Amino acid sequence: SQQGEEDPQALSIQEGENATMNCSYKTSINNLQWYRQNSGRGLVHLILIRSNEREKHSGRLRVTLDTSKKSSSLLITASRAADTASYFCATDPTSGTYKYIFGTGTRLKVLA
Amino acid sequence: DVKVTQSSRYLVKRTGEKVFLECVQDMDHENMFWYRQDPGLGLRLIYFSYDVKMKEKGDIPEGYSVSREKKERFSLILESASTNQTSMYLCASSLPGGSYGYTFGSGTRLTVV
């Protein structure tokens, strides 16, 4: 079963607005990652946050992690039409299997 | 530019055929993975390999096998394709451990008719 569950399943915003998507997970983790998938393509790694970190930035991306609530959020600021994609969180469980567990994704549509 | 290459973007096969999906990476990564992606189900792990000739079953290995004879190549084999194996197949690779992220290929959309 999938550990990560993204919320919302779909999000539609205007260009220039901020987009926030959330991920919840069930077990202890070493790190959590966010990936982007353009339609019909492979996933692209965006950012990794370790379990001892609370916030991380990369360009227009801001990721937070709350291990007490087992949740993470991805904020994309000043969104562009090119940000239209599906976004997935993936967790690296502490069980040591080095197999990430992916959520079902949030479909983001940015309207020009 | 480092990358993971999947041999086909689109593939149409007949029920009962033996199907080979090839994946090659040029990053000298130890770990390689095969996932399938279906609407509403996210990515599900089929098999993974952490070294040459080593393989382990993922969450949904039934109907699939894999081969890793060389470090850079990881093949997924559908022994006898069925219509319920119609899906997007994604290959990924990574360094040892879980701290570096995966690099994915562009995916193969397989249709079994």
Total CB pairs under 8 A between chain A and B: 61
Dist CA A38 CA A86 (whole Å): 6
Q: What percent of chain B has pLDDT over 90?
A: 83
**Contact partners, residue A73, CB within 8 Å, separation at least 6:** A20, A21, A22, A23, A63, A64
CA distances from B58 to A84, B25, B96 (A): 30, 20, 17
pLDDT greater at residue B77 or residue A2 = B77
CB–CB of A92 and B58 under 8 A? Answer: no
For residue A3, the chain B residue with the least C-alpha distance is B42
CA distance A53 to chain B (A): 13
**Which residues from B are below 8 Å from A56, CB to CB?**
none
Average pLDDT over residues B54-75: 95
Q: What is the pLDDT of residue A4?
A: 67
From the list A42, A45, A99, the residue facing B90 with the nearest CB is A42
Average pLDDT over residues A76-100: 89
Q: What is the pLDDT of residue B15?
A: 98
Tokens linked to A65: 């992690």
- Amino acid code (one letter) for B94: S
Residue A2 has pLDDT above 50, yes or no: no
Tokens linked to A67: 């291990």
**Which residues from A are below 8 Å from B107, CB to CB?**
40-42
Residue A102 has pLDDT above 50, yes or no: yes
pLDDT tens sequence across A26-83: 989 999 999 999 988 899 999 999 999 999 999 999 999 999 999 999 999 999 999 9
CB–CB of B103 and A31 under 8 A? Answer: no
Residue A22 has pLDDT above 50, yes or no: yes
Average pLDDT of chain B is 93
Residue A96 has pLDDT above 70, yes or no: no
